[in-house]
Amino acid sequence: MCDLDPKGREWRFYVQDMIEFAEAVLSYTEGLSQQGFIADRRTYDAAMRNIELMGEAASHIPGVVRDMSPEIEWRTIIGTRNRLAHAYLGIDDDVVWDIVQTDIPDLLPKLRRLLEPIGP
């Protein structure tokens, strides 16, 4: 398995990026209700941008790595990025809030496990 993408960057760095983007979203939204999140445009925009960046980073993870970690919904993460980037007027705030409250907290430990050393 090739550990480098065409730009010469190892896939593990993209996973680390995804973790950092996810942690930023959780940090930005900590203590907010859905209404507070939607009302605070800066927080909303920052969270949306980091969710988008998670999808962009995910698109750089090699297929063989994605195949080895089917518990991560790679296609959904990348598809969400595409939706945010191209259909900005059709974004459902309930879906975004569900991503923030449910999907990202569920995803973080799975991403962290990808970075754990293999073997003894």
**Catalytic (active-site) positions:** 81, 86
Reference 26, options 105, 111, 92, 91; nearest CA is: 105
Q: What is the 3-state secondary structure (H, E, C) of the chain?
A: CCCECCCCCEHHHHHHHHHHHHHHHHHHHCCCCHHHHHHCHHHHHHHHHHHHHHHHHHCCCCHHHHHHCCCCCHHHHHHHHHHHHHCHHHCCHHHHHHHHHHHHHHHHHHHHHHCCCCCC
**φ, ψ for residue 10 (rounded to 5)?**
-70, 140
